[in-house]
Amino acid sequence: MIKNWKTYTIIIFIVIVISFFISRTFLQKDKTPEIPPIAIGIDRNNNNLILTQHAKCRMECRDITEEEIKEILHLGSINYMKSNLNDKRGATYALEGYSHDHQHLRVVFAPKKNEMVVVTCIDLDKEYECNCN
């Protein structure tokens, strides 16, 4: 009788442990936030640039040309720490690289359907006095 009691206790314990693992594995919802898919992405061959007023001001005070902006778009590396792929207004990509005149630049692009909006540009090696808003 005691031997049967030990056997039943072990079986019940095993069933409880298995039930616990099954509930943890299959019944709980995944708590990681779901990242929505990016509909547009970034087209590096899009030369239809739209410069925001802010970008124009930054380009002027930092001596950055539209040609250099295009160079960074074509050849720059995406800095995902400075990009915002889940912005409600649309994804923004921070691309970084060196221009033909050796400026170390970060340019923030916001891709739209048939155009590439330049949000801002930054010289990563040199501080400039700019009165841009």
Residue 97 makes CB contacts below 8 A (sequence gap 6+) with 71, 72, 75, 76, 77, 104, 105
Res 2: pLDDT: 59
Pull the structure tokens for residue 94: 């921070």
- The neighbouring-strand residues paired with 116 are 49, 111
CA distances from residue 16 to 7, 19, 20, 64 in whole angstroms, order as listed: 14, 5, 6, 67
Confidence check: pLDDT of 4 > 80 = no
- Nearest Cα residue to 49 out of 123, 129, 115, 125: 115
For the stretch 88-130, pLDDT in tens is: 888 999 999 999 999 999 999 999 888 999 999 999 999 888 8
d(CA 44, CA 18): 52
pTM equals 0.68
Give the mean pLDDT of 14-28: 76
CA distances from residue 77 to 3, 52, 60, 105, 111 in whole angstroms, order as listed: 69, 22, 23, 11, 16
